[in-house]
A and B are shown apart, each in its own frame.
Chain A
Amino acid sequence: MTREEVFEKLNEVFRDVFDDESITVNDATTADDIEDWDSLEHINLVVAVERCFGIKFTMGEVTGMKNVGQMADIILERIK
């Protein structure tokens, strides 16, 4: 899967979880950019991303993620 394809799928997940078709994420996207993205929604997002790519993040990865770019990096690493 290419980085572009990962982002395409991430867009779908974000749109579902936040119920907003206008969302497009990029490397720099953070919780500050999406209105409903609070700590309670974060868990749903993480679970949905995990299920979408068939992976499971470690606690260290989840706590260390600074933006969507880093999330995509971990995904690419895992699904190699």
Chain B
Amino acid sequence: MAVDMLKPQFTGARVTRLEDARLLRGQARYLDDIHLPGMLEVAFVRSTRAAARITGIDVQEALRTPGVVAVLTHADLPWEIRNDGFGVTQPVLARDEVRFVGEPVAVVVADSRYAAEDGVERVKVSYDPLPPVLDMEQALADAPRRVHSQRANVFFHSEHTTEGFAEAFAQAPHHLQLTFRVHRQTGVSMETRGCAAMPDPASGRLTVYVSHQSPHGVRAQLARVLGIPENELRVIVPEVGGGFGIKAMFYPEYVVVTALARKLGKPVKWVSDRTECLLSDAHGRDSVHEVAVAFTEEGRIVAVRDRVLGDNGAYPFPGFPGAVGESNWATNMLPGPYKIPHISLTVDCVFSNKTPLGPYRGVGGPIGAQVQEGMVEAVARHLGKDAMEVRRVNLIQPEDFPYRTATGNVYDPGSYSESLEAALRLLDYEGFRRRQAQLRKQGRYLGFGVCVFVEPSAMAHSEAGSTPYEAAFIRMEPNGTVTAALGLGPTGQGHETTMAQIIADRLGVDVKDVVVLHGDTDSAPFGGGTGGSRSGTIGGGAAIRAGEQLRAKLVKLAAHLLEAAEEDIELADGQAFVAGVPARGIPVRELARIAYTDVNRLPADMPPGLEVVARYQPPAPATYSNGTHAAIVEVDIRTGLVRVLDYAAVNDCGRLINPLIVEGQIHGGVAQGIGSAFLEELRYDEHGQLLTTSLMDYLLPAATDVPRMRVQHLETPSPSLGGFKGMGEGSLIAAPAALANAVSDALAPFGVLVTELPIRPEQIVAWVQAAGQGA
């Protein structure tokens, strides 16, 4: 019986979310729902040129616009975001020169957003154009010019080659060269970015609301740039309508709005419109991998060389220059689930006159997986083997864990082979091959694609900053309900539920009695925020640790009151009782009441109150979740359109906190993967103008583009507290590669191997026509 009592009641269960009611009733408060009397609204004048010197800014007509209060430029707000290490600073409003279309040049403050936009239309900026840097290969040689005159365009270079690489590569009997490329994409959270700042004249403090993934990160950056002590800044993250990495970054607009509130002594708000978002939210992806692979007759990959070039756009985001993040992740994880003994990597990241690059869910994972699985497909074709056989030959096996990769990662145990076989079973791989052959005779082109992925999660370093730990504060209130606070920054992941599940199990109370606060630097302990799939593992670990410390207090008090030994006390269903003698018990809420208001009954060495704060840092620099995605697609060779007919995701993220939430994350990541593979591309013209500035041009997957997905869970626990592994990004890492391979498989009769994403319909038509002409 005691064993049953110890079994977690909520952790691992499909608990419906505690945050849903307010969201469904339309009562949630997002950034733009914050309104204060006298609040001013701002709109930005943004650069219309990719590269130009500013020769003049005329604000007179704008100032005469009804409702406009002020128009400010760099001269008025001379703040700069410093990016230590790269010799580049980013003025929050352009100073003398603009470096990408969409860069903030001036800000108009007005009594309404309508009036602010009227003012923006009347600000006249004169430009003297410069030749834009738009091609990353040319940028390498500082052609046509330097983006930042004081330094070369290449701002990051790294090399890593395993000992014995050259011999291993040369001695292999087979070699292939492939170039993989992924174009620019971005997160497109449905809620645009925004912030609002307001001074509190009484205390002298500033309150800043911001739609963000890391409240403490914003506070630290604002304090640094504006020179405000951190205890005079309160950052509050309200309800956030999606983040996907783009909202983990620190943007110039946040400095401008905060500085304006201080300067004008009034509440000031800015909410981005969708065009501004596509111009100024962190872009992602955009890299080229030139790969050479050496392999044996059996298909065993023995050595891979990868030369990577990444386009970072105009400025490095502080703490996370996107091209470096992309390239490092992609190369570091290049072996994926395969035993590849030798690696030679060269990475160059360049500045260009495009929007700055930052994280988008999965970061370099998708292109890394595309390289890894594209190689496997190419090797299989070259040898005339089934690609699944090549995977089986190369996969890391259960007995190989802990496995050290050629890039220096140490993988904790996972279910790599098991996940592949499970995915093949879910979609009946053998049966599919028969169906595929029959349908090809009818001129229908179906394809099967697979990606076996490894997702590094809960990393000591990620875009959420270099905070390798999380903190949880828990207070049991005098009536026995529980209030917890964490420094996480959820954007829809359901932490109010998952953290409550973990805490409720420790305290023996109902999950509905636990309120989880987040997003307010005045109430939450310092934390890194949400990003890099860290919250469940690191935040969950902190919740376990804090929960256990509070549990120890409850147990001590109960043992004292029940005159029993502490080790005999159980907590369950809101009761503390002696193990095996449920009748000898006391309600937890009675313990709470005593702890605060009847303190004479406490043990002599127990202070009043029930509050703890605990921190948790996982034992390893990362824990690796894994799985296999498999897709069946049909390609219409006349229109070039691809339909995803069936999809399976086998996922292993260690112990599950809430399968419902994990499945939601997988579904969403696959949908984004469909977008990445077929729809989403930020396109620039030869002048550096972004052509995709609306959602009619930057296409997102709709309900009719996404198939019904089959999800299967495997559970290989991590060494972290609770056994959790992060899983927020794996599905977007795996889906593009699985879909690309499915299209390659469908078009194999035409000799097509997809190496570039997204795959555009006109490309498919061109491939088919080219093959027809060749035949």
Q: Are these two chains actual partners, yes or no?
A: no
Chain B interface residues toward A at CB < 8 A: none
